[in-house]
Amino acid sequence: AQSVAQPEDQVNVAEGNPLTVKCTYSVSGNPYLFWYVQYPNRGLQFLLKYITGDNLVKGSYGFEAEFNKSQTSFHLKKPSALVSDSALYFCAVRGVYNQGGKLNFGQGTELSVKP
Amino acid sequence: DGGITQSPKYLFRKEGQNVTLSCEQNLNHDAMYWYRQDPGQGLRLIYYSQIVNDFQKGDIAEGYSVSREKKESFPLTVTSAQKNPTAFYLCASSITTSGRYEQYFGPGTRLTVT
């Protein structure tokens, strides 16, 4: 079985401050991990992924995420938040043994960046 | 939203009617997926298909049906057997080449059944 937990329903940060959106996972074998962003009434946009290699992954719009195998975490980070980063963020996981390509998504974290 | 289109954006139906949601992609992706999104519940997988003329049930397939007659198209029918059909429906696609596992999403269809 594979699953993802996003422990925070909402994260509030001030513009210009660093942001972190947390994600932990459970999967058999090595994980493939993903972050997506969703703006209101829109589809999900792919931000970044970890498949293998460097634990620090850089993605779109200045976001990055750090894979930590010992803590089974894949937290999303950005050094300086923008008001336009306000959106719903989803973490997703797929196990290496999952041949069907199914992703399991977390429940989402609402990020609010205030000026 | 890439090369995935979903139509219509908003759909209203009366209870007891079947309704079909369209999903088309021009990305030449092999795999396609249907998800349902409800507030506070994230995305739940309804059906997925890795090749033409083949598809598998996801976690919440009851009350839904799909077909995959063409690589580009993966329509979803919400039947009258689905007890709570009002939701936001998202279609996605991906290629199946090793290392390219990310899914790309369409803009979604919001279905309201009264």
pLDDT tens digits for range B61-111:
999 999 999 999 999 999 999 999 999 999 999 987 766 788 999 999 999
| Tens digit of each residue's pLDDT (9 = 90 or more) over A52-89 | 889 999 999 999 999 999 999 999 999 999 999 999 99
∠ CA(B75), CA(B56), CA(A94), 5° rounding?
Answer: 105
Residue of B nearest to A39 (CA): B107
Contact A102 B108 (CB under 8 A): no
Distance CA B103, CA A103 (A): 9
Chain A residues in contact with B43 (beta carbon < 8 A): 44, 90, 105
Across the interface, do B108 and A101 touch by the CB < 8 Å criterion?
no
Kindly report whether the peptide bond that precedes residue B8 is cis, defined as omega within 30 degrees of 0: yes
pLDDT higher than threshold 60 for residue A21: yes
* Residue appearing with tokens 């596992």: B101
Give the pLDDT score at B101: 81
Task: Provide the pairing of β-strand B31-37 with A10-14.
Answer: unpaired
**φ, ψ for residue A63 (rounded to 5)?**
-80, 150
